[in-house]
Amino acid sequence: MSDQRILQQLGLIKRAGKLVTGTDACMTSIRSGQAQLAIVAKDTGDNAMKKYRDKCAYYNVPILELFDKVTLGHAVGKSHGAILVVTDKGFAQRIRQMSEGQ
């Protein structure tokens, strides 16, 4: 139930224009300080996962590992997605709270 609510929330965040998709755009968002939360698919490759973790740690961006690439992508209208970045602080806090409740 909670998983479904997180996926619905991601769709809402996308419609609100507060979600960045795509590896390059997400990395730019993290580097620029706009990122409030990064969500990475659990089935992302080891090298990419290390890169995301390192960037998020360096720029002090919280990171969550949730779902698989297909599920994460479908939640925001894409065929798949390895990483998503939330740029709104309130939405980011909401997703973190929902993920801790699992």
Q: Say how many Å lie between the first and final Cα of the chain, rounded.
A: 9
pLDDT tens across 68-80, in order? Answer: 999 988 888 887 8
Mean pLDDT of the region 27-51: 94
Residue located via tokens 């939405």: 91
Q: Which CATH class is domain 2-100?
A: alpha beta
Domain ranges of the chain: 2-100
Query: Would you say residue 24 has pLDDT above 50?
Result: yes
pLDDT tens across 40-68, in order? Answer: 999 999 999 999 999 999 999 999 999 89
> For the whole model, what pTM was predicted?
0.91
Tell me the average pLDDT of the chain.
91
* Segment (H or E) for 84: strand 83-86
